[in-house]
Amino acid sequence: MNQPDFVFRGHQAAVNCVHFLVNGRYLLSGDQDGLLIVWNMLLKRQLVKHSTAHTSAILAISSVDSSTIITQGRDNKLNIWTLDAHEFSGSLKLAQSLDIESLNFCRFSISAHWICGLVADELGSMFIYNVHTQERHAFSVEHKSATRSGAHNDQPMCMDICASEELLQLTVGYESNKLRCFHLQVSNDSVQVTAVCSVQTPHTEPLLSISVDQDAQSIYTCAADNNVCRFKLDGTVLVKAAAAELPHTGGSLIQCFQTPQVVAVAGWDYAVHLYDHGLQHLKDVRFHRAALTAVDVSNKCTELLPDITDDLIQQRWKMQPQWMAVASRDSRISLWNVNAVLQP
């Protein structure tokens, strides 16, 4: 299969990120010009188009729920939006804007209602922000790596945060290819940071993306080289559990999904590389004419649409497959029925 089910062409610049909202009804996309688009996945058309969501490129998009959207731009702003969506129309309202370091392309991370990002102009400094209470705390994950000329400040390149009932687990990848795990305990007026473990990864180029499978305590990494790695968190030790090689160098983003159980790498070689959770290769998906930047998979449709009374539309919604959205620097977004893609 080399042809997607649908192609979205609403962007004129490189598309840097895509993200499905929790119910899979809407897809968000952001591009190099700062354009943010909300796509209606039932009608396969644009619902909202915000041409000045950021004054520079949008690096990352995520969401807290079906109406609270987070975007990060190269303008060093983290914007929190409220989406008011209806069947044929919608609007985006800027609720809050936070300062964040974006010059080194390090994307923010979110889990539940907690956002984690780099503090501008302070190497190794991070902040954690509660979207509901608006409390914000600063902390440091500074690391120095040994070089021939002495100790060198190690730049954080990527991160992933996971929330549990008791604490937050933060995983940070550094320019030296070091991978470090921290536990964060947040109180009313401070955050306590505990370094749990670290490992020097086998990557030969800077880490670019991390994805954590919290259930299996596994951490997946990709970098500017052609290595894809899986590490297992065993108590306070990180152990390399599996590895794979991309056909060519460079993975922009790695994502671990639970349904279906697949790990996807958006490659610089224009392909999505799909693996199982043990990093056994499943399939490569090629369509785009430029490097890929992001990939996301929608949740399975299990609920009726509360604002739709037409039975025929409800039937169409229940028949929707799980979509895999792929973003590329060729300004297009391709949509694939992920289960059909994974069939032998």
Mean pLDDT, contiguous 10-residue spans, the chain (344 residues): 90 98 93 97 94 96 96 96 91 95 86 90 84 92 77 88 88 93 89 93 95 89 97 89 97 96 98 98 97 95 72 78 97 96 91
How far apart, in whole angstroms, are the C-alpha atoms of residue 121 and residue 240?
Answer: 33
> CA dihedral in degrees (100, 80, 91, 74; nearest 10)?
10
How far apart, in whole angstroms, are the C-alpha atoms of residue 344 and residue 340?
Answer: 9
Query: What is the bridge-based pairing of β-strands 90-99 and 68-73?
Result: unpaired
Q: Give alpha helix (H) positions in the chain.
A: 311-318, 338-342
Task: Note whether 323 and 334 are within 8 A (CB).
Answer: no
DSSP 59-102: EEEEESSSSEEEEEETTSEEEEEEEEE-SS-EEEEEEEEEE---
* Distinct helix (H) and strand (E) counts, the chain: 2, 30
How far apart, in whole angstroms, are the C-alpha atoms of residue 139 and residue 118?
Answer: 10
Per the DSSP assignment, residues forming a β-bridge with 185 are 192
pLDDT of residue 22: 86
Task: Note whether 50 and 36 are within 8 A (CB).
Answer: yes
Here the tokens at position 227 are 């290595």
CA-closest candidate to residue 282, choices 269, 273, 295, 271 = 273
pLDDT of residue 122: 64
CA-closest candidate to residue 125, choices 87, 151, 154, 86 = 154
pLDDT of residue 88: 83
Question: pTM for this structure?
Answer: 0.94
Find the helix or strand (DSSP H, E) in which 205 lies: none
